[in-house]
Structure 1
Amino acid sequence: MSKKVLVIAHGHPEFNKGGGEQAAYQFYKECLSQGDDAYFLARTAVEPHGGAAFSTIKNEREMLFHTTHDDFFLFSNIKTRHLWGDFADLLTQLKPEVIYCHHYFLLGIELLKIIKKVLPNTKLVLTLHEYYAICHNAGLMIKSGEDKKLCFESGPRECNSCFPQKSPGDFFLRKQYIKNCFQWVDSFIAPSAFLRQRYIDWGIAAEQIHVIENGQKSVDIPPVNVKNDAKVRIAYIGQINPFKGIDVLLEAMLLLPLELRQQCLIEIHGANFTTQSDKFKKKIYKQLRSLSDVVRMHGVYEPHELGGILQDVNWVVVPSIWWENSPMVIQEALSHGKPLIVSDIGGMKEKVEHNVTGLHFRSRSAVSLAETLETILLDKSIEAKLVKNIAKPLSLSESYKLTNQLVNH
């Protein structure tokens, strides 16, 4: 049965190329295709005309919310708090039966309370894309020190050790504030079992949080575009920052014997490299200079280009050094029948079965990744064996049906 829905995201893929934004937008489009009276509201930093809180993009169903949060500790609005009145007016005008909120980051976590205060009978579903509520360090669950160690648990004293300028009491109150905002949510969605368990350990009731993977578009897999040079092509697709493991990948390439390295070509497709720290950029540029003959940087790609990018590669690598929840690139690669090489932690380990649909290597270890690369270069039959095991990931329509069942429960 069709219904009126509002999908809220922290960015529109027209301006923000992250996986969470793309997942939210694709879900909105699926709602439309399923016959729902659907609207999409995305936060933006783009300046509005005349100081308006909202503007439209493409059509009247896709709206931009010109706001931000100022308090990154509590995800709270301060300077733009007056815009919550405009947000309440929009809710009153639309009157959606269901609101699928794909984030509160940059929007302000208070929106959860406002939604239920204005529309108490509307079902509110919040998808958790990472660990922001648990971890003040950009939701990464990585220690804030120079070595960026993985964090296995949160707590007032543990968090204070990362951010001594905030007292244990500050972190205790932070958790209470966020949990108080979360009490307005009817159901939570976790795209991975790993993330679900992290939030259960943190304090969300197990019966409230459900694992539903981000759905993928159905694609027809074209024949592999075999290049004349017969090199093994490996693609990195995603953001380029210190937590995505690009430096680990490049270091692994440098560790390969020269003869094997020449049999390989790394294709890097990613955004936001130029906005990173000078220290990080200097490190990557130094590695790239030593690998100029076997690594190509392609820059930003658009979603519609993904099929062509994946058609031309043999493998996809996800070398992240943090507990990735459910990287969209993994589902996209599997949709196109491509085996993966991934770090052995978090949602990466969960989504890619070792020696079945891909290969694991020890997270953060360039040596381990180099050994994995050497394995696939010396035995090229591994690729074909794994490709046979790849099943289509959850489709958009299947994800929609599962979410619909959750809402109607």
Structure 2
Amino acid sequence: MAEAAGPRLAVVTHAHPSISRGGSEIAAYTLYRGLLALGLPAIHVTVTPEENEARLELATPGEHVLLVPAGRQDAFYNAGTPGLAMDLAALLRREGVGRISFHHYLHLGLAGLRLAAALPGVTSLLTLHEYAAICLRDGQMVTRPQHALCYGASPSACATCFPEHDLSQFALRRDRFLNAFAGLGGFVAPSRFLAARYAEWGLDPRRITVIENGLPRLAAPLPPRHRGQGRWVFGYFGQLNPYKGIDTLLAAAELIAARRELAARLAIRLHGTIIGQPEGFREALEAAARRHPFLSFAGPYPNEAVRPLMGECDYVLVPSRWWENSPVVIQEAFAAGRPVICSDIGGMAEKVEDGVSGLHARVGDPAELVAAMERAMDPDLAARLSAGLPRPCDGEEMARRYLAAFAALSQPARLALAS
């Protein structure tokens, strides 16, 4: 049965899942397909660099693309261009859009965000998938060059990481973001942790709604593996880069290798791509896989394969060294019926309840990660954790929650700078 239609809703994002499988673009597309499944009028708008045009694969008539000319991105202020902003506004007017769900401002820029949100009769929400407005370093809130966790942004702290910019530039950057956000109806955060970070930064917490990202498809959880006397299998899924804690995982492998009995009881499988990573990082990963029989690098995988691949594991590892928000891999693990061993910070610690749906390990500590893995190889504990897994929501449930958030917007918000 179709939901009440209401004004047409546009999901606007910075990438399409046919060219990029990051969490925010998957979440945006899941919302779009969830709206369609509910019988609602919706469109999906991808704002992406023109070099991606040939790789785009649009699956429905409601998908649109706006191309950003090469060299027009501004990483510091993310100002955007008037031409692109007007193109988006024209598309939204032509399609009769009355509600906009923004899922990023990358490529679109703050000019596009501001102009689209100011269209007459339009209400808007911005989903904050990471910390890009707060942190210039890829929105990771990790210091430069030390790779330490950042516990709070400020002009002085940011200028320490980026000495090529002075304090006044970072203060201006924050003001420009907050002023652009002022015309939006509200904000969505996929985790309470991220919502709190943005409230500390300057957003009114009363205007932030926490809505978990959904998964495109849900099926019954897979049954636990029947190992007999076989090895316990721990799987890593996703991008293979230092932010994701691969260095911690490789250091943990060295500790495991020093304990022959433990090494004989487990297997670690790394699923993902190392394309684009520094040569030294790639060489270290490949050398570790050659050196340790229990460690294997399986390479990239299509998204459709993640469920059966997780089904071959007992646990999913998420050892990230940045705060994360709502990693899709955790939702995928829960949907597949697999507990998670993760770092004890940020959105990971929020999503995985220690001792209930998985185990925590101190972030960046390989010995703690090994201890958690060793503890996990207890059949009774594994059974309890499997029984404690939450059920992720699907695209339709995600869409309903967004519709409720739009319904709660009585009028466009005018958020002020934090006093």
Q: TM-score range by the shorter chain?
A: over 0.9
Q: List per-residue Cα deviations over 1:156-190 (Å, max 9, x = no partner).
A: 11111111110000000000111111112111000
Question: How does 1:224-303 map onto structure 2 within 5 Å?
Answer: 224=224, 226=226, 230-256=230-256, 257-271=259-273, 273-291=274-292, 293-303=293-303
Distance (whole Å) between structure 1 residues aligned to residue 209 and residue 323 of structure 2: 19
SS of residue in 1 equivalent to 2:129: coil
Residue type at the aligned position of 1:194: F
SS at match of 1:98: strand
CA contact (8 A) 1:357 1:386 kept: yes
| CA distance in 1: counterparts of 2:275 and 2:304, whole angstroms | 23
Deviation at 1:247, TM superposition (A): 1.7
Structure 1 Cα separation of the partners of residues 129 and 77 of structure 2: 17
SS at match of 1:71: coil
Match for 2:261: what amino acid?
E
Counterpart residue identity of residue 246, structure 1: I
Q: Following the alignment from structure 1 to structure 2, what is the Cα–Cα distance between the partners of residues 302 and 28?
A: 21
Look up the SS of the partner of 2:117 in the other structure.
helix
Distance between the aligned counterparts of 2:326 and 2:266, measured in 1?
27
* 1:13 matches 2:17: yes
How far apart are the structure 2 equivalents of 1:334 and 1:109? 36
Distance in 2 (CA, whole Å) between partners of 1:374 and 1:57 is: 45
**Separation in 2 of the partners of 1:282 and 1:303?**
26
Aligned residues of 2:84 and 2:108 also touching (Cα < 8 A): no
Residue 267 of structure 1, CA deviation: 1.8
| Structure 1 residues 279-304: Cα deviation after superposition (integer angstroms, max 9, x where no partner) | 3223323322322x222222222222
5+ unaligned residues in a row in structure 1: which ranges?
Answer: none
Q: Is the 8 A contact 1:56 1:63 kept in 2?
A: no
Q: Which residue of 2 aligns with 1:101?
A: 102
**Is the deviation greater in 365-374 or in 106-115?**
106-115
CA positional deviation for 1:86: 2.3
- In 2, Cα distance between equivalents of 1:121 and 1:56: 32
* Aligned counterpart, 1:357: 357
Pairwise mapping of residues 10-409 of structure 1 onto structure 2 (< 5 A)?
A: 10-47=14-51, 57-67=58-68, 69-77=72-80, 81-117=82-118, 119-145=119-145, 147-216=146-215, 217-224=217-224, 226=226, 230-256=230-256, 257-271=259-273, 273-291=274-292, 293-377=293-377, 379-409=378-408
Aligned-CA RMSD value: 2.0
Deviations 1:44-74 (A, max 9, x none): 3354889xxxx98233311222116521001
**Residue matched to 2:414:** none
For the residues of structure 1 that align with 2:52 and 2:370, how far apart are their CA atoms? 49
Check conservation: 1:18, 1:239, Cα contact below 8 A: no
Shift in Å, 1:224: 4.0
Normalised by the length of structure 2, the TM-score is 0.90
Identity across matched positions, percent: 34
Q: C-alpha separation between the residues in 1 aligned to 2:131 and 2:88?
A: 26
Instruction: Report deviation, 1:262.
Output: 2.1
Q: Summarize the Cα distance change of 1:165–1:268 in structure 2 as closer, same or farther, 3 Å threshold.
A: same
SS of aligned partner of 1:91: helix
Q: Unaligned regions of 5+ residues in structure 2, if any?
A: 409-419
Separation in structure 2 between the aligned mates of residue 104 and residue 331 of structure 1, nearest angstrom: 24
TM-score normalised to structure 1 length: 0.92
Secondary structure of the 1:63 match is strand
Deviations 1:48-106 (A, max 9, x none): 889xxxx982333112221165210012235xx53333222212211212111111123
